[in-house]
Homo-oligomer: A and B are copies of this chain.
Amino acid sequence: MSTNQPKKPSKSDRTRAQILDAARQLFAEHGYDGASIRDIAALASIDPAMVIRYFRSKDELFARAALLDLQLPATQVTDRASIGDAIIRRFLRTWENSPSATGMVILLRSAASNEFAAEKVRDVFATQVRPVVAPFGDPADAGRRAGLVASQLLGLATCRYLLRLPPVVALSHEEIIRDVGPVLQRYATGAD
């Protein structure tokens, strides 16, 4: 019991978790530029200097905050007839359950004016939606089909979680599944 236990119970590095929580909240609300280290420190009730001490820079803190818990499990590929339904259900589960939801909001909000975040969004959709959509239509068409799926998913996310357009916020899960599912089905399979 001298120095390291395999399972650190909780040292004063609970501070680290507090900083990360505060950062995730403020990055999600105001984006990368809008959230200052001072604001984050104030929300975490610690000194601004500690933020730099625990994380080397604001960039590193942002990367940790945005990428934490963002490793989304792949959509369960069932059969061709229900791929649209499966995608939209997975979307709702990802975006409406923390902590993945917070990470996605952070990324999408910051992507508008931060190239690092924008590149990460492109990467997420290249690794998450394209492989899911690819097997269900003409392989030569995979890019177009995945792009259309992404446009609808990102549009829904933008309206519902970023801009908070009232009629889109008001949609129930059932309505979204019923209305958007068939569209994704059409886009994913390339049916005309």
Chain A residues near B (Cβ < 8 Å)? 30-31, 33-34, 108-113, 118, 121-122, 125, 143-144, 146-148, 150-156, 158-160, 162-168, 170-171, 175, 178-180, 182-183, 186-187, 192
Contacts and interface: CB of A to CB of B under 8 A. Distances in A.
A165 to B, nearest CB: 6
B31 A112 contact: yes
Nearest to A187: B179
Contact of A165 (B122, B165, B167): B122
A119 to B, nearest CB: 9
25 contacts: A31-B112, A33-B34, A33-B113, A109-B112, A109-B113, A112-B112, A112-B113, A118-B162, A118-B163, A122-B163, A122-B166, A143-B167, A144-B167, A147-B159, A147-B167, A148-B168, A150-B155, A150-B159, A150-B165, A151-B155, A151-B160, A152-B152, A178-B192, A179-B187, A183-B186
B125 A147 contact: no
Interface of A is mostly: helix
Given A165-B122, A168-B150, A175 B113 contact: no
A143 B170 contact: yes
Nearest to A142: B167
Residue with the greatest number of chain B CB neighbours at <10 A, chosen from A112, A146, A180: A112
A163 B111 contact: yes
Contacts of A146: 167
Contacts of A163: 111, 118, 121-122, 154
